[in-house]
A and B are shown apart, each in its own frame.
Chain A
Amino acid sequence: MILQSVKMAITSILSNKLRSLLTMLGIIIGVVSLVVLVSLVNGATGSITDSINAMGNNLLSVSISDDHGRPVKLTDLSAFTDDGTFFRIAPAAVSTATASGSYAEESVQLTGTTAAYLDIQGLELESGRFLMKPDLDNHSNVVVVNADLATEIIGRTDAVGETIRFNGKSFLIIGVLEEDDSSINAMSGDTLRAYIPYTSLIRLSDSVSLDVTSFCVSASGDDMDAAESRLENMLLERFEQDEDAFSIFNQSSVAESMDSVTGTLSLLLGGIAGISLLVGGIGIMNIMLVSVTERTREIGIRKAVGAGRFAIMLQFLIEALIISLLGCFLGIGISWTVIRAISVIGSADYHLSPGIVLLSIAFSVGIGVLFGLYPANRAAKKNPIEALRHN
């Protein structure tokens, strides 16, 4: 019975191709806007979340504004990792310096830190090595630079062994980081970074001393909230319960709020697209009502040869459903093309997100049934005699 209804529906859709296509247009536009918009948002936020995650999901950064006479000494830092909550700790003093090399002179961001920084921040080396303990002990003038700095100042990425001058002092390049193409770094602007031993930065910059005012730690486990409150308690104890003495920056909370922002964005765009799908559904209902009126006589004939209400109902309902689903599949096909085109033009990598494809199919089925129901019921209720008399 259902198979037969599907056949009849296809016959009737094909016997009026242009009208069927125009009817589908609403659904097609709705599906394309839904799928394309949400896929693009997902693609964009995916790369942002990726780069946030790449910066270390178990990362906490601390900056101290008031040490209450009990400054955190460089040598004190290791005490934080004693109870096992925290895995690694590294100071992170940031200042700017003018870097000059064989190729150019630029203002760069200079970070004074220790060996642990590499792991905590999840940085990857392209060549050479990162800072090591002897470098700190000896106040060595060695530097690890990022790929951008290497190309800008030295002129190429294989810069290990070259020297570079920061504020006139010359440093030996011992390592170059991998190129970081994640969009968040591109957005944040100052892409020229250099990492030198903390102890060397003290000599280079007046604002940096053995009293560490900012450092970063990586948590041992996955529960970042627990790690954060543990760290907070440790610092409160040290700074006489003064909450304003320091601030903790939780990397995973950034990822979370990013997620919630993009979630809202998807919902908003999805909502707009959902409305256009709804309009498409009303279009289907409109055409189905016209079709039911036009085919009144056919309905009468079917009833005369033994079709019951249910059979007629099913036929028109399935017709609405097929129009809606066909529109949906066309829409998905067009979305795929559009997304490929955007990927090529924008040289980014966007994909149809499978969730939204499934959602749009479910939505189309719902709309087909919802807006097919009323016309189908109208058809099923027709009196056979009056229907047969209809011209």
Chain B
Amino acid sequence: MIIFQDISKIYRIGDEEVRALNHASLHIFPGEFVSIIGPSGSGKSTLMNIMGCLDTADEGQYLLDGQSVSNYTEQELTRIRSRKIGFIFQSFNLIGNMSALENVELPLIYQKLPAKERKDRALDALKKVRLYERRNHKPNQLSGGQQQRVAIARAMATQPSLYLADEPTGNLDSNTGYQIMQLFHELHDRGNTIILITHDESVAAQADRSIRMKDGRAKEVAV
């Protein structure tokens, strides 16, 4: 359960003040598939980073599963990122000198899992995204769609309940994007919460519900 109450994020550049989020409020229930749409610069990524505890709000309350995250220490935020959240980015964000398998294992290393279990879980996730055969390939030996599937496997490895995807199909052609969306639907069907930023109305329409961002505010739209 995600509750944003009057969240603001303010950037100051010189004397100028940019409100990337301006008293944004929203609710997201467990197991929901929510898309976030809106024009460039409307604060979508900022919103998602705060949701994922990569960033903190300057004003307002963020309740994650009933707990107020607003005044958590860096260490506690790290723990939430590690245990509860799986990130998927537009530019894949895989580490170049590591194989697909090593990339997927990475979050499990930070969970301090023993090597055997780590490897089993990572291979399992790679099987789910149908890239088991490519496990020893480096990112630059994989296509864009394959790289994004590795990134999804990496998010899945820790079995989080909340998936945050920032324009995951933005760098992919529509056919590959479709395959990626299938993976999100599979994750959703297994009861996970999916929050997905997109510019593509047809992608947004696949969600249970859409939230439209404008000038740092969130507004629900009918599907």
Contacts and interface: CB of A to CB of B under 8 A. Distances in A.
Interface of A: 1, 4, 11-12, 15, 297-298, 300-309, 311, 384-385, 388
Contacts of B52: 304
Given A1-B112, A11-B98, A384-B54, A308 B78 contact: yes
Interface string B87-107: 101000111011000000011
Given A11-B98, A385-B55, A306 B111 contact: yes
Contacts of B54: 303-304, 384-385, 388
Given A304-B93, A309-B78, 4 more contacts: A301-B94, A303-B54, A306-B107, A308-B79
Contacts of B111: 306
A4 B109 contact: yes
A303 B78 contact: yes
Nearest to B93: A301
A311 B107 CA distance: 12
**Chain A interface SS verdict (over half):** helix
A305 B107 contact: yes
Contacts of A388: 54, 89, 93
A11 B78 CA distance: 25
A359 to B, nearest CB: 35
Nearest to A308: B78
A256 B81 CA distance: 66
Contacts of B159: none
Given A311-B110, A385-B49, A385-B54, A305 B87 contact: yes
Contacts of B78: 303, 306-309
B214 interface: no
B158 interface: yes
23 contacts: A1-B109, A15-B97, A297-B93, A300-B93, A301-B94, A302-B95, A302-B110, A303-B78, A304-B87, A304-B93, A305-B81, A305-B87, A305-B110, A306-B81, A306-B82, A306-B83, A306-B158, A308-B79, A308-B82, A309-B74, A311-B110, A384-B55, A388-B89
B46 to A, nearest CB: 9
B106 A302 contact: yes
Contacts of A301: 93-95
B121 interface: no
B154 interface: yes
B110 A308 contact: yes
B202 interface: no
Nearest to B154: A305
Contacts of A384: 54-55
